[in-house]
């Protein structure tokens, strides 16, 4: 085996819980099951998923990410930064075929895995980009920029906001310390000209505890201007004080 492959032994995938039918249509359920099987096998062998996570792949990882779709409008262009094994980006693409999903991940072994899964599952609306989020700054914007356990909010804003379209939003999965993160990131929120962050809980009828999501939009979409060299794009500051959108 190459140095980028774990010596862990794959496990059998867990059975599909009944609640999966609440987030995956009958036409997409087999794709979700194939993805879970891949995570339990290749994901473990390649060191993308710990073997102890296999019994809870559905509840802790796949369903936990799938309910994020409740916060994403129809036909959105979504960018998942630091996608890793595809959580939440691949899960969203499986659950929501209306979404156009770009998976951004800097590590080769991860992008190789992601590309293989995308091809195997026939997810034509998914693009895999090897690189850091900054590589797309000044090049592309998206309706939604998402992530899961990538970085504290201050750093996440610097990576994500240059990718957020004027009428779009950062929609990140966060843990119980999200309020502390928001407080610590107050200077960055002001510098970027963001609206007041919103914290919502999703999927209470699917996962326990519910998935906690942080949504950050622009305070004044009409004043978002992108500029600067590639990798250094930054919207100009709004002259208005930060506040909730009407």
Q: pLDDT digits over 180-209, tens only?
A: 999 999 999 999 999 999 999 999 999 999
Residue 2 located in a structural domain = no
Residue 231 located in a structural domain = no
Residue 244 located in a structural domain = no
Is 233 a residue whose pLDDT tops 70?
Answer: no
Global pTM value? 0.87
- Tell me what percent of the residues of the chain surpass a pLDDT of 70: 87
Q: In the chain, how many domains are there?
A: 1
Residue 246 located in a structural domain = no
User: What span, in angstroms and rounded, lies between the C-alpha atoms of 36 and 199?
Assistant: 28
Q: What is the extent of the structural domain holding 117?
A: 18-223
133 annotated ligand binder: yes
Is 30 a residue whose pLDDT tops 50?
Answer: yes
Residue 56 located in a structural domain = yes
User: What span, in angstroms and rounded, lies between the C-alpha atoms of 209 and 178?
Assistant: 15
172 annotated ligand binder: no
CATH number at residue 205: 3.40.50.150
87 annotated ligand binder: yes
DSSP at 179: H
In the block, residue with structure tokens 């107050």: 186
User: What span, in angstroms and rounded, lies between the C-alpha atoms of 168 and 244?
Assistant: 14
**How high does pLDDT run on average in the chain?**
89
In degrees and rounded to multiples of 5, residue 174 shows phi and psi of -135, 165
Residue 24 located in a structural domain = yes
- Residues with Cβ within 8 Å of 208's Cβ and at least 6 positions away in sequence, in order, are none
Residue 237 located in a structural domain = no
CA angle 86, 90, 94 (to 5 degrees): 155
Residue 245 located in a structural domain = no
Is 244 a residue whose pLDDT tops 50?
Answer: no
């Amino acid at each position: 085996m190459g140095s980028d492959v774990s010596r862990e032994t794959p496990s059998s995938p867990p059975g599909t819980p009944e609640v999966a039918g609440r987030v995956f249509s009958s036409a997409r359920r087999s794709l979700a099951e194939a993805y879970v099987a891949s995570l339990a096998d290749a994901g473990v062998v390649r060191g993308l998923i710990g073997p102890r996570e296999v019994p809870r792949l559905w509840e802790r990882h796949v369903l936990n990410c799938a309910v994020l779709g409740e916060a994403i409008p129809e036909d959105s262009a979504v960018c998942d930064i630091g996608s890793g094994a595809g959580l939440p980006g691949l899960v969203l693409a499986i659950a929501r075929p209306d979404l156009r999903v770009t998976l951004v991940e800097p590590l080769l072994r991860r992008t190789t895995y992601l590309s293989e899964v995308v091809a195997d599952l026939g997810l034509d609306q998914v693009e895999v980009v090897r690189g850091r989020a900054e590589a797309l700054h000044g090049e592309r914007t998206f309706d939604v920029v998402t992530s899961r356990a990538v970085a504290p909010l201050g750093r996440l804003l610097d990576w994500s906001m240059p990718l957020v379209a004027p009428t779009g939003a950062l929609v990140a999965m966060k843990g119980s310390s999200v309020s502390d993160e928001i407080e610590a990131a107050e200077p960055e929120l002001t510098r970027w000209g963001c609206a007041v962050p919103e914290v919502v809980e999703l999927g209470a009828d699917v996962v326990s505890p519910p998935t906690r999501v942080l949504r950050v939009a622009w305070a004044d979409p009409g004043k978002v201007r992108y500029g600067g060299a590639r990798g250094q794009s930054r919207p100009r500051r709004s002259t208005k004080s930060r506040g909730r959108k009407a």
